Amino acid sequence: MVLSDEKKYTVGVLVQANFGARHQLRIAGVPVGREITELMPSEKPDAAQGSSIIIVVATDTPLLPIQLKSIAKRAAMGLARTGSTASWSSGDIFLAFSAANPYEIGPPVLRNLSCIPTTEMTSFYEATI
């Protein structure tokens, strides 16, 4: 949960991962992948080729499309914290959406939307990362 203006919002991140090598794995900045030696798979020199990742960030926070775009960019920062690096052939996709501001499909009319101020985005970036 993330607090903004005394309201609670949820930020959830779903990661589909098919990337990286064990020696790159970091948890809380610690290179734990180098320490795990049991059952070490043999890594091929080109193991990173053909890897991919899809990260979807979902929230009930009222955000505008430009704010969601900036949230999606922060998902890549979270990925980097794991020790991952990009390869030339990786297919990386980062998406973000908000379930706030629902409306029924109907005739085109002017609609009112709510959003949090951009100055309040830092805690949502932290939650995403």
Reference 15, options 59, 58, 68, 69; nearest CA is: 58
Q: So what's the pLDDT on residue 21?
A: 73
Q: Show me where the domains of the chain are located.
A: 2-22+51-102+111-128
Half-sphere exposure (Cβ direction) of 126: Cα atoms closer than 13 Å = 8
The predicted-structure confidence for 10-65, as pLDDT tens digits, reads as follows 999 999 877 767 777 888 788 888 887 776 666 555 554 557 889 999 999 999 99
Q: So what's the pLDDT on residue 23?
A: 78
The predicted-structure confidence for 52-111, as pLDDT tens digits, reads as follows 889 999 999 999 999 999 999 999 999 888 877 777 777 789 999 999 987 777 788 887
CA gap 9, 19 in Å, rounded: 30
Residues classed as catalytic: 52, 90, 92
> Element (H or E) spanning 44, and its range?
none
Tell me how long the chain is.
129
Percentages of the chain per state (helix, strand, coil), in multiples of 5: 25, 25, 50
Q: So what's the pLDDT on residue 10?
A: 93
The predicted-structure confidence for 83-95, as pLDDT tens digits, reads as follows 777 777 777 899 9
Whether pTM exceeds 0.85: no
